[in-house]
Amino acid sequence: MEYKETRRGYVDALIELAETHPELVVLDADVAKATKTELFQDRFPGRFFNCGVQEQNMLSVAAGLAMEGFLPFASTFGVFATCRAADQMRNSIAYPKVNVKIGATHCGITTGGDGASHQSNEDIAIARSFPHMTVLVPGDYEEARQATLAAANHPGPVYLRFGRDSYPVVPEIHTPFSIGKGKLVKKGSEITLISTGIMVNEVLKAQEILEKRGISARVLHFPSVKPLDEPLLIAAAKETRGIVTAEEHSIIGGLGEAVAATVAANCPCAVRRVGVQDVFGESGMAGELMDKYGLRAPDIVDEAMRILTMK
């Protein structure tokens, strides 16, 4: 299996876009080596701005550039973009609905050795709570590239979520990318498994385990967390016995809660959430943390079986 970085998909798309979008500029908060935007800087030095370790100011500068007709992509770690600069994201970008794209890397528990202070397990919850904010969480390198291309052509603010580690390339999700649309990856009739971000690989493994047990599992992948593909989701709620969501994010405020709220309002069914269980992370290797915090295929299978064995 091939492994590639989602943050590299982001930057490769920016370089591609720069050839046809002369108004595109990239801002970074002194972490260009880590976000990979140094590769953009090498190609387009006059269109790259290092704002220093001043994430709040960077988002304000991005907002100003957008108001002057530029297409700014502001890049930093997810925890800094959403927690440190939440006020600027809300009041300078979301509220006036300016055309700023926020490229957040090092998101989720797989940030690994940097520990709890840098593991943004709350960023989706923060970003999706702001009106006008679109939230995209691609599953692999290619989908990250496609999501960045889509964001550039989408009017209004977009939060793009990428990781630090190298993640499996999943050809099953390499279908056309459309904001607000989910993807039917596997057909199934008994239980629905829904992924966002890098959890798609674990969900597909869980589907295989269930299939070997004679259980038909539908797999949906939602790289667009906001807006959510409600028709695809409601159909799954109607046609299967329940839903298991899987995200590399807190179970509070992310994909799981978005799915549960939509289902409750339209077609109530059992929903179980696999994710970080309302705790801070710790330092460790990415794979070890995925194991410890219950983000693996067997954890997804366990939740599916809880639904299927409910009376």
Whether residue 55 lies in the annotated active site:
yes
- In what side-by-side order are the strands of the sheet with 101-105? 48-50, 24-28, 71-77, 101-105, 158-161, 134-136, 224-226
Catalytic residue among 2, 23, 55, 143: 55
Q: Which residues pair with 270 in a beta bridge?
A: 242
C-beta separation of 80 from 55 below 8 A: yes
Residue type, position 67, single letter: M
Exposed / middle / buried, residue 33 (Cβ in 10 Å: 0-12, 13-18, 19+):
exposed
C-beta separation of 185 from 236 below 8 A: no
Backbone dihedral angles phi then psi of residue 206, each to the nearest 5 degrees: -65, -40
C-beta separation of 61 from 82 below 8 A: no
Give the whole-angstrom CA distance, residue 229 versus residue 265: 14
Q: Which residues are catalytic?
A: 55
